[in-house]
Amino acid sequence: MLEYISNALYNFYMSLGLRWLIYIVAYVLNVVSYYQNPTLFSDGRNCTFGIPCRWFNFISGMCAITLTIFGLIVLWYDAPFSKFLPDFWYIPIALITYAIIVQITISVKPVVDNGELNPPPEGLWPIKDRSWLYILLLVLDLVFFHQMYLDGGTQLIENPRVIDDLILGRFGGWNKDKYNFLLEWFGTIQILFDILAIYQIVNFRACDYGMPNSWNY
């Protein structure tokens, strides 16, 4: 009975519909989360490498979206949901997403602490909601990567070491399919982006970015 329940749960967890649902929700939330980072509204140079924060967010946002699109490509070739879509159907989706990120970036109005109230725009969520957004995104990305990890299988290696079983032999194996191996392990970078974003949101202080105190909400 327990084995039957375990198999049923595993089959549901690895089902085509659930995997695509998790990916689509994570994809949409990635775009939403880009606007929800308040440092996007700052041209202060308090971000990494002295780059204005708005443009640092643009670079990191484009990198995050690119990693998410890599996930789409991998999922499509591992678990396609249709046989009737043309090759490279995902390219227009990628281009539209990039265009959205560019449009958001150039349309925001940077704010400075000039003594006036300068409240945040209505579309910016409170810090508690923003934190939960990024936490949910991290959970979804972890689940998505775990599903890909389980589905990737293990390369058969004589006298495998622990690192072969857990890392080098996964996703087609480093020695056998380096392209697929690297593409799928790139998913861990997306998880790192999520963790850094949570840290930035939780520790956000408007004064650190030359922004009015009204943004500390």
pLDDT tens by residue, 134-181: 999 999 999 998 888 777 665 555 556 665 555 666 666 656 666 666
Residue with tokens 């972890």: 142
Tally of CA atoms within 13 A in the half-sphere of 5 that contains its CB: 2
Contact 113, 212 (CB under 8 A): yes
**Is the pLDDT score of 211 beyond 90?**
no
pLDDT bucket at 79, cuts 50 / 70 / 90: confident
d(C-alpha 190, C-alpha 71), whole Å: 10
d(C-alpha 87, C-alpha 72), whole Å: 13
Which of the two residues, 50 and 9, has the higher pLDDT score? 9
Q: What would the mean pLDDT of 47-57 be, rounded to a whole number?
A: 85
pTM value is 0.85
For 170, the 3-state DSSP assignment is strand
- Span 169-210, pLDDT tens digits: 666 665 666 666 666 677 788 888 899 899 989 889 888 888
Contact 215, 206 (CB under 8 A): yes
Please tell me the total number of residues recorded for the chain in this structure.
Answer: 217
Q: What would the mean pLDDT of 107-121 be, rounded to a whole number?
A: 83
Which of the two residues, 81 and 156, has the higher pLDDT score? 81
Structure token digits, residue 50? 């002295």
